[in-house]
Amino acid sequence: MAIESIGVNLPSLILKQEAKKTPAAEFGSLLTDFIGDVNKAQLDSSKATQSFIKGDEIEIHEVMIAGEKAKTSLELLMEIRNKTIDMYRELTRMSV
């Protein structure tokens, strides 16, 4: 049985560590993804409403659920924005 040196796997481990995002980049991509999801929920709600108005095969409860999902996700996004702004203001106040 051959024993491999630890140095064989070292370059791949270093590359994997460099590929990791910084916390700021992770937060940015998470926020970007969430904004995209909120936008998709808004568009889905609008489509459901328009389909209902046109008389397509969609029930009123499906329209209401889509609208509430869009509303709730937008409210959550606004709260995240408000808390982020508050945190930024607090950090700048502390650094002065």
Mean pLDDT of 59-66: 96
The pLDDT of residue 13:
47
6 DSSP assignment: G
Q: Is the pLDDT of residue 66 over 80?
A: yes
> For 22-35, how does the pLDDT look when each residue is reduced to its tens digit (9 = 90+)?
888 888 898 899 99
9 DSSP assignment: T
Exposed, middle or buried by CB within 10 Å (0-12, 13-18, 19+), for 64? middle
- 70, 44 contact by CB (below 8 A): yes
Closest CA to 72 of 48, 44, 49, 41: 41
Whether the predicted model's global pTM rises above the 0.75 cut? no
